[in-house]
Structure 1
Amino acid sequence: MFVPFVMDMKGIDICQSHGKTIKFYCHKHSKLCCTTCGILHGKCDRLDEIATASQRQILDLNALKRVLLQSESDADSLIADCKKSKTDFNQSIASISKELHEMRDRVMKLFDMAEKRIMNEANAIKSVEVKRLDDINAASCKIKTNINQVLSICSALLENGLPDQKYIFWRNVQQKNKTFISDITEQKKTTVTIKMKLSFPKELSSILEKGNDAIKFSCEHTHTGILLFI
């Protein structure tokens, strides 16, 4: 006796409102429905059983998988950008420290004062920005985890899924991917590239006259193509 393969949809085939298996699709409200939902949507113009709808409409699950893979790639890109930005922070801090020490040999007293002030400013900015990058990284990892879970189901469906399971997945995950794309877009908006550098006066002989404020510290933020100077 032939027993059809039943794949674990990991909750995607369960109504979020009532905890029941999805049995219908309401075209009027673009909503997957369980039997309880079906009662509520009984007067809608078109309320199809999933078995009927999955036979009537040809689904391009491969196209949806490609979109999901692109979302996963975007999440990977965000994670890589966070890693690079943190590395750039360390390189910038190391560069600043080197410049300071080279100049301190010539004007030791002034550089002792300037180093303390500038490094405090740089590390304060780094502390704030690294925390923000960690938040972006954590959010991006969460997005990727959710995408991977959906992709695993998608791959399994392509191999062994039943038509009604594919239909439910396709309808359900289309909306989920909009959320993935929206979340990734929001994270991209918060991504900032920062460059820190020092500027020295042309005539070092005037440093002592200018005192502790002679050496200027600047932090350059690149955000959506705009340079911000602090």
Structure 2
Amino acid sequence: MAAASVSLKSYGSETITAYSCSTCKNKNIKTEARSYCKICDFCFCDKCVNLHNQLFQNHVTYGPKEMEEWPVAIATQKFLENCEVHKGKKLKLFCEDHSQLCCNNCVLLSHRQCSKVTLIADTTLPVTDHQQLSDKINSILDQLIKLQINWESNLKSLQVSYEERLIEVRSMRKRINDTLDKLEETTLKEMDELNASWNASLKFDVDTCSRLRTELTCLCDAIKKIGKKNKELAFIAHQKSEEMIKQVDKYLNRN
């Protein structure tokens, strides 16, 4: 049958994009079909349809503009018959209790207690205006397209906003870093100056203490060595010691 030689370039796509030529397929050659003959139930490419028309002048063939006369594509048939719950299983039954299409697994697992499960082949097709149904689907598709465009626009806006905020954060981070660098530089300079000042002051005090200790120690040793041997030197040592003690007391009180 012709249906066996019909294929989709993209399985599950919305429209049939190509039919394979039945004659070429029998020769293991894949060629896109451009015509269909109902009597032969075959699809033909442009080359094969010319040979067909020469052999069967009374046969009517249908071109791409008359797709309603062509058979249902196998890909379309598989797409419709495939059970969404149990992949690879065909929808063969209909549960009227749940208004649900079922494969054998569906019935076995979920619809064994249902009272109205019938073969799809035995069901009566609902009276529906196909054009009305098609218009309804197209209307919903238009809404989905608009909604998708809206979400995509929001996604782009979000990305732009994110990048702007990222630039702001990085700019703020740079300003903070620059401020911290300047603060560090100023603080280190002040610390160096303060350290130098305190270092000089403390070194002066250390030197002063050392000098005063040395002078007092020398005077103390001199007093011990002179004793009562020399009144004049003892008087000088006494006076110098008193003067030195005054200097040390003044220094100690100041510090």
Query: Do the two structures share a fold, i.e. TM-score over 0.5?
Result: no
Structure number, greater radius of gyration: 2
TM-score by length of 1: 0.31
Highest relative contact order (Cα 8 Å, sep 6+), 1 or 2? 1
